[in-house]
Amino acid sequence: MSAKRTVVLAISLLTFFVSPASAMGSGNKYSDLQTGVTYSIYEPSNTLGLPTLAFQVRPCRLHPQREEYLFASFGGMDRGIALVETSAQYNCTGLDKPQPLGTIVIKGIKAKVGIYCATNSCSAKTFSQHGGEITFVTPKTKMFKPTYIRVGTQGGFSLKQLIAFATGLKPIKAK
């Protein structure tokens, strides 16, 4: 290969891998994921001081050939919070069956609250003991389809703390 071709190839490869047009590798996993899906991605701004344990982009197990979904966890294996984001059009993760505790409003959106309890005698007072989840669907935007969001814990957190986590979810801005 001639020296001129080598230089042209090197510049082409460098331009391809460093190009700012692609957010992949931007340093923000949430932004990187937003470039590859048609539904809105939300990033936590209030993790309650918990470190990120996992950030995974998973294949849609219930609807093969559909867009991937986000699973992120914060805290530890015994005491943590899980965040799931998927297209509201086809929920890739299925539905848990918590006992309903009613509804709340998260940023103007009606959200369902459920507790993971084997008996019918559980209440919001025992939420931190049993764990539970908040689920809601965000509205579509000009650029993105609605998102189904589940924020859950297996225990160790109050409902008030889980609401604070959910309220802190911020949409990623399109680039």
- The predicted structure's pLDDT at residue 131: 95
pLDDT value at residue 24:
57
Which pLDDT belongs to residue 29?
A: 96
Tens-place pLDDT, residues 106-142: 999 999 999 999 888 888 899 999 999 999 999 999 9
DSSP per residue, the chain: --HHHHHHHHHHHHHHHH-TT--TTSS-HHHHHHTT-SB--EEES--TTPPEEEEEEE--SSSTTS--EEEEEEE-SSSEEEEEEEETTS-SS----PEEEEEEEETTEEEEEEE--SSTT--GGGHHHH-EEEEEEPPP-SS-B-EEEEEEESSSS-HHHHHHHHHTEEEPPP-
> What pLDDT is attached to residue 10?
35
Q: What percentage of residues in the chain have a pLDDT greater than 70?
A: 85
Please compute the mean of the pLDDT values over residues 156-162 and round it to a whole number: 95
Query: pLDDT category, 175, cuts 50, 70, 90?
Result: low
User: What is the structure's pLDDT at 65?
Assistant: 84
Specify the pLDDT at position 112: 97
Could you read off the pLDDT of 17-54 as tens digits, one per residue? 333 323 456 789 999 999 999 999 999 999 999 999 99
Q: What are the domain boundaries of the chain?
A: 23-171
Mean pLDDT of the chain: 85
